[in-house]
Structure formats: structure tokens, C-alpha cells
Amino acid sequence: MWKPALCFRRCSVLMARPRIGTHDGTFHCDEALACFLLRQLPEYQNAQIVRTRDPKLLAECDVVVDVGGVYDPENHRYDHHQRSFSESMSTLRPESRWVTKLSSAGLVYLHFGRRVLAGALGLDGADPRVGVLHDKLYENFVEEIDAIDNGISQYEGESRYNMTTNLSSRIAHLNPPWNAESQDTEAGFTKALKLVGTEFMDRMEFYHNAWLPARTLVEDAIRGRFEEDPSGEIVVLVKGGCPWKEHLFELETEQEVETPIKFVLYRDQRGQWRVQCVPQGLGTFQNR
């Protein structure tokens, strides 16, 4: 038997479902990541993704990414295609060092990334680890997507080889071929959301579970270096095998280490002591 009150409640629930708007047609990695990140937030976790270019439908959405020609965070509009847009991490947050023009992925990550990371890892938003991971994931995941979507070359000059296995390329290959009978992109976009989401979460977990603990070991070693040797040029890691070079260079700058560290000591898996010279920089083979 039809019950008007019950039907009204059900319709109200459906109408109250938040909507994320993005463009239809060929999809790209940046809006797929932007939509995925938004769905990690409590207010958008059950959001319907509305793929359209109809201004009237977009106006009814709670948040719009990569379409609409407007960047207005107060009204949750995150497009980067308008000619007037030239924002980067460094222009919107002067404490940041990245100058790559943002795509919709970078915009959403800038405004919501810390909340996404804190919620996924069960950390307080003020935990300094959240800030460290936020920067690391931008530099080693999101920035590449921003650059590719905006057509920014990684280097100047002619390429020696083609790179076609990056995440943006794999997302692009989920679109229908140009000569396919059906040009429906909805199924491919669903796959794109899953693919980009899985890779983002995997990278986040790696940096949290492996990269960040290594940073803590190196940080402790730097702080205790004078207990090992009065010169301050030797650090001893309590556990070997961890990646230390990147952390050491960054932490030397952060802690304003005046005397450069020259040697790193640690025990290997067999309990034997190892010593490594500190190079002059990442990717160099000359030692200090």
C-alpha cells in the first residue's frame, strides 16, 4: 500500500544527497582524482557525481570541479581552464615551494588534502605528520597530474623516449577509442575513479608506514649526532636498511645544521656495521 509520508521521507533523502559536478565526455586524471578525494570527506562520501556541461545542472551541484570556468573556493567551484587562472601551490599558500600550475586535482588537494589524509590515517589534523605527508604526496603524486593536465613539460629539449605508463596516461586509455561504436564514458570514468583512488591510497600508506618512520629515525640520529662523535659529522641509525639520503638533506636544512654530515653508520641485516659517505646531493656520486 502506498504511504505518502514514507514516500516523502525517501524522496527527501534522495534530494539531500550531495552532488559533485564535473564535465562529461572524455575524462582525465585530474578530475577523477578530484572527485575521489572529495568522496573521502564525510560531507561528500555518498555524493552523486554529475557529469555534464549544462550550466543549470552544474549550478545545482554542491561542488564543481574541472568545469564551469570559475575558481571560487567559498562556493566550492574548482576549475582551472579560464584564461585568468594561473594559481599554484606557492601563490595560494606562500609557505609552499611548488610553482606548477594547479589542475582541478591540485586545487581540491590544496583545499581538502590535509583533511583527507588525517581522516584516512586516523590522525588529528594538527598533527605535524599530516603536513609532512601532504607535501610529500603533492610533490610525488599530485604535482605530476597537475603538470600533465596543464601541458607543462618536465624538461626542456627533445625527449629521448616516450613515457606512456604514468597514471594520467592509464586513465586516458580508459576512454573509448575514437572509432568505437559507443562513446559512452560513464563506465570508463567509474574505472578511472577506482584506479586513481587505489593508487593514491597505496602511495599514502607507503609514505605513512615506511617513508615517515625512516624520516623519524634519521631525525633522531641527527639530533643525537654529537653523542656519537663531537665533530657532528657522523650519524648512527638505530636500524639499517631505511632510505636516509632524502631525509638527511631536508632535515639538515630544517634544523639548520651548520657542519655538514659526512658519514652514516648502521648495522645491516646480519648485524655487521656499515658506513656510507654522504653525497653532495641527491643523484650525485661525489661525496662530501
Give 12-22 pLDDT, tens digit per residue: 445 579 999 99
- The reply to whether 196 and 58 lie within a common domain is yes
At 227, which amino acid appears? E
Distance CA 234, CA 70 (A): 53
Distance CA 211, CA 218 (A): 11
| CA trace torsion 158, 164, 165, 167 (10° rounding) | 90
User: Residue 141: which of 76, 221, 198 has the closest Cα?
Assistant: 198
Predicted local confidence at residue 159, as pLDDT: 73
The CA-atom distances, in angstroms, between 186 and each of 105, 152, 189, 230, 264 are 19, 28, 5, 64, 53
Query: Considering the entire predicted model, what is its pTM?
Result: 0.86
pLDDT under 70 in the chain at which residues?
A: 1-15
Asked whether residue 180 falls in the same domain as residue 39, the answer is: yes
Residue pair 121/165 in contact by the 8 Å Cβ criterion: no
Range of the domain at 256: 224-277
Q: 95 and 117: one domain?
A: yes
Closest by CA to 284, choosing from 231, 247, 246, is 246
- Phi and psi (nearest 5°) for 65? -130, 140
CA-based nearest residue to 45, from 111, 93, 112:
112
Q: Are residues 140 and 189 in the same domain?
A: yes
**Residue appearing with cell numbers 561528500:** 44
Mode of pairing for the β-strands spanning 19-22 and 63-65:
parallel
Q: What is the pLDDT of residue 16?
A: 77
Do 132 and 118 meet the contact criterion of CB atoms below 8 Å apart? no
Residue 244 · residue 282 · CB < 8 Å: no
Is 27 inside any structural domain? yes
User: How far apart (Å, rounded) are the C-alpha atoms in residues 37 and 106?
Assistant: 10
Number of folded domains that form the chain: 2
Do 101 and 143 belong to one domain?
yes
Q: Report if residue 5 sits inside a domain.
A: no
* 159 located within any domain: no
